Amino acid sequence: MNETNFEWDEKQISWQNALLLGKQGVVVPQELIDYEDNKTDFSDIQPITPDDIKNGAVKRIMRAEIPIKPEIGDWIKHEHIDFNRLMTDLLDNFYKTVKTINKNVAM
């Protein structure tokens, strides 16, 4: 597919048209997409409470930039590894290991 350059004016584009353009390889700048949020009824969404966080109904998400070697990036891609899942599992296992070691040292 040939790359085509577009000059965008400041007019908003409906999310439906942006989707159709995207299927044709045209990337619409994010700030020009009108998601029609004002037409969405959010009244049935309950506010998050401290209990939701405490019982795990709401999970804390952290974002990080992790520099990795090209060969590791290639391996992750080649093996179809879900990087977010990998990092979550590694941190969880590391945390549990440290807690176990600290508990055993205290005995």
Model pLDDT for residues 5-14, shown as the tens digit of each residue: 678 888 899 9
Is there a domain that residue 44 lies in? Answer: no
Q: Is the pLDDT confidence value at 3 over 70?
A: no
- For CA atoms 31, 35, 39, 42, the dihedral sign is negative
pTM above 0.75, yes or no: no
Please report where in the chains the tokens 């930039």 appear, as a residue: 65
Q: How many domains does the chain have?
A: 2
Q: Examine the domain organization and report whether 34 and 66 are in the same domain.
A: no
What is the Cα–Cα distance from 36 to 33, expressed in whole angstroms? 9
Tokens of 61: 């998400």
DSSP secondary structure code for residue 26 in this structure:
P
Is the distance from CB of 86 to CB of 64 less than 8 angstroms? Answer: no
Is there a domain that residue 55 lies in? Answer: no
Domain residues for 19? 10-38
